[in-house]
């Protein structure tokens, strides 16, 4: 964990939120710290409270009781506008305006802020370059693929140069390969700009691939939080274990085999031969920001030798 004296960029303190006419709180006494510069995954099954947490974080809604501090300030009417100006949002459904070109979608937050046209066009062009879409400035959203739309969404979120980026199911609508590309981009941008990244997802592989920390919600409560590697290696709560189990490939293991997951730079002939010699079977492979995420069924002693292999 980071130095405890570093000011947390975000801190929920005993936050409750209940929607009108609902019997149970959507957030139930939530206390959570998101350290500056971290990549925090928020995970939980449907209805756990993830979107509610994002609504509060983005300043779109307020806690009933409890406190939400951002960059050391309590988020409230006096600080909301300033907070929103420094916060970028990336959505599952991209939320692009169909009647605007790609460039005009990216300039929109700058227009709302009254930035002069020449300046906002230059900034938007620069951000389209950053996401690899310089050539698409004059197209319309309907002429783009899902992955390209999300790149525009990321350019729009970053064009105001926020220090906090909230991504709500940013890759859930995309296929695994496109999703890996978007996650790689988010990871690169987070490092380059020293952003604090909060990723809300129901996809455990997203948490595994990009986050430094993870918080698990269940019924509006925080049931587990910590460094991602530790939580995934040794989950303490049944809700976390259930999420992990749901992600395991369905495979019948042979006697003496265990299931392991390992991230490899690629699956070349040499790697495949080494795996075969070790008696390891590939049961599933998915693109990953650092290469390929491979699930192996392998003899227990063999799989332990793979660098980076973790028990699944």
Segments of 58-134 assigned E as strands: 65-70, 73-74, 87-90
- Strands 291-299 and 281-288 come out as antiparallel
For ligand ATP, the closer of residues 22 and 252 by Cβ is 22
Candidate segments 50-58, 149-157, 223-231, 239-247, binder of ligand ATP by CB under 6 A? 50-58
Residues 82 and 201: their CA atoms lie apart, in Å, by 26
For ligand ATP, the closer of residues 19 and 233 by Cβ is 19
- Number of residues in contact with ligand ATP under rule CB under 6 A: 12
Residues 95 and 149: their CA atoms lie apart, in Å, by 9
Residues 253 and 143: their CA atoms lie apart, in Å, by 45
CB of 3 to ligand ATP, least distance (A): 31
Residues 66 and 59: their CA atoms lie apart, in Å, by 14
**Which of 35, 41, 49, 181: binder of ligand ATP (CB under 6 A)?**
49
- Residues sharing a CB contact under 8 Å with residue 212, sequence separation 6 or more, in sequence order: 38, 39, 40, 227, 228
Residues 196-225 that bind ligand ATP (CB under 6 A): 202
The answer to whether 157 contacts ligand ATP (rule: CB under 6 A) is: no
Residues 135 and 151: their CA atoms lie apart, in Å, by 13
* 167, 175 Cβ separation under 8 angstroms: no
Residues 245 and 177: their CA atoms lie apart, in Å, by 22
**Which of 4, 5, 22, 116: binder of ligand ATP (CB under 6 A)?**
22
**Which of 3, 4, 23, 46: binder of ligand ATP (CB under 6 A)?**
46
CB of 221 to ligand ATP, least distance (A): 11
Candidate segments 39-47, 238-246, 250-258, 304-312, binder of ligand ATP by CB under 6 A? 39-47
The answer to whether 263 contacts ligand ATP (rule: CB under 6 A) is: no
CA distances from 15 to 27, 69, 107, 123 (A): 7, 11, 35, 37
The residue count of the chain comes to 312
Candidate segments 47-55, 77-85, 263-271, 295-303, binder of ligand ATP by CB under 6 A? 47-55
The answer to whether 44 contacts ligand ATP (rule: CB under 6 A) is: yes
**Which of 9, 10, 15, 26: binder of ligand ATP (CB under 6 A)?**
26
**Which of 13, 29, 31, 51: binder of ligand ATP (CB under 6 A)?**
51
The answer to whether 16 contacts ligand ATP (rule: CB under 6 A) is: no
**Which of 10, 30, 32, 48: binder of ligand ATP (CB under 6 A)?**
48
Spatial CA neighbour of 85 closest among 71, 97, 96, 95: 71
Residues binding ligand ATP (CB under 6 A): 19, 22, 26, 44, 46-52, 202
């Amino acid at each position: 964990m980071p130095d405890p004296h570093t000011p947390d960029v975000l801190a929920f303190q005993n936050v409750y939120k209940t929607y009108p006419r609902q019997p149970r709180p959507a957030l139930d006494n939530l206390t959570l710290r998101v350290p500056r510069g971290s990549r925090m995954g928020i995970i939980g099954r449907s209805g756990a409270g993830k979107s509610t947490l994002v609504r509060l974080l983005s300043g779109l809604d307020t806690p009933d009781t409890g406190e939400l501090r951002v960059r050391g300030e309590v988020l409230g009417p006096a600080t909301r506008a300033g907070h929103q100006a420094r916060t970028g949002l990336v959505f599952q459904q991209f939320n692009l305006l169909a009647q605007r070109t790609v460039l005009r979608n990216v300039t929109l937050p700058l227009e709302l802020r009254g930035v002069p046209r020449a300046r906002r066009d230059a900034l938007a062009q620069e951000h389209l370059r950053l996401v690899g879409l310089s050539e698409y400035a004059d197209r319309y959203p309907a002429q783009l693929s899902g992955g390209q739309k999300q790149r525009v969404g990321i350019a729009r979120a970053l064009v105001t140069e926020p220090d906090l980026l909230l991504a709500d199911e940013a890759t859930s609508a995309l296929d695994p390969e496109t999703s890996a590309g978007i996650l790689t981009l988010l990871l690169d941008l987070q490092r380059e700009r020293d952003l604090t990244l909060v990723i809300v997802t129901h996809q455990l592989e997203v948490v595994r691939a990009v986050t430094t920390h993870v918080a698990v919600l269940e019924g509006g409560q925080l049931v587990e939080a910590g460094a991602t590697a530790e939580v995934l290696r040794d989950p303490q709560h049944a809700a976390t274990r259930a999420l992990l189990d749901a992600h395991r490939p369905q495979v019948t293991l042979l006697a003496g085999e265990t299931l392991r997951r390992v991230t490899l730079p690629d699956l070349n002939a040499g790697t495949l031969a080494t795996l075969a010699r070790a008696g390891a079977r590939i049961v599933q492979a998915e693109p990953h920001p650092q290469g390929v995420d491979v699930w192996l069924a392998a003899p227990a002693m063999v799989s332990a030798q793979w660098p980076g292999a973790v028990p699944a």
